[in-house]
Amino acid sequence: MEGQELNMPLLGDQFPRMEVKTTHGPMTIPDDLKGSWFVLFSHPADFTPVCTTEFVAFQKRFEQFEELGCKLIGMSVDQVFSHIKWVEWIRDELKVDIKFPIIAANDAIALKLGMLHPGKGTNTVRAVFIVDGKGVVRLIMYYPQEVGRNMDEVVRAVKVLQIADRQGAVPAGWPNNELIGDRIIVPPPSDEKTANERKGKHDCFDWWFCHKPLE
C-alpha cells in the first residue's frame, strides 16, 4: 500500500461510481440502485467469526431495511468464489439464507472508499456507508476488525435520516430520548420575530429548543 493515496467520500458527496463483481452478478454502483437508499458495508474477510455474526445479523433485519426502501450490499477484498462458498456455509450450517449481494472488491475500490487502513493490516475495516436515493452519502461509520457492529443502530440511522429529511432534526437515542422521547426537534428560528412566536406554536424548553410530535 506504500505510495497509494487513501481516499474516502465525505458526507454530502456523491457516492463514487464503481463497476463491481458480486455474488448476484456484475453491478454498477450507485447507478443500479438509483432511487433506492442503500447500505454498503465492508467486512475484513470471509469465514471469520465476527463477520459471520454480522452477516447473520444483517440478514435477520433484511425485511426492516426493505420496509425503509433500503438495499443491503456487503463487500470485502475476498474473491467472488469465496463469498459464494461462505454464503453456502452460512445457509447450510446456520440455516440463514443471505439475500443481499456481496462485492468482491480489489484494493483500488477499497482505497477509493477509505476501507483499507494501513495501521489495521491489509484487510478492509468494518465500514458502513448509508446512501440515499440520489446517490448522496448521508452517514459513514468505521469499526475496527475486532469490534462487531450493532445492526439495530444501522437500521435506526436509515430511519432517522429519512425522518429528518421530512420533518426536522432527530434527538439523541431516538425514539427513546431522555428529554423528549420520540418527538422531533423543530428547526431553530432564523430571525427575532420567529423566535418570539416560537413558544406559542410548539412545546419548548426555550425559543431555540422546541419539539413536536412525530408525524
- Rounded to the nearest 5°, which phi and psi values hold at 127? -95, 150
CA pair distance 48, 24, nearest whole angstrom = 21
Residue 44 C-alpha from the chain's centroid: 17
CB 84 within 8 A of CB 174: no
User: Which is the catalytic residue, given 51, 70, 204, 210?
Assistant: 51
Amino acid at residue number 62: F
Query: Per this entry, what is the length of the chain?
Result: 215
For residue 87, the Cα-to-chain-centroid distance in whole angstroms is: 21
Q: Is the dihedral of CA 98, 104, 105, 107 positive or negative?
A: positive
* 203 DSSP β-pair partners: 211
Q: What is the enclosing helix (H) or strand (E) of 212?
A: strand 209-212
Helix axes 151-166, 49-60, angle to 10 degrees: 40
Based on the residue annotation, tell me whether 51 is a catalytic residue of this protein.
yes
Active site residues: 51
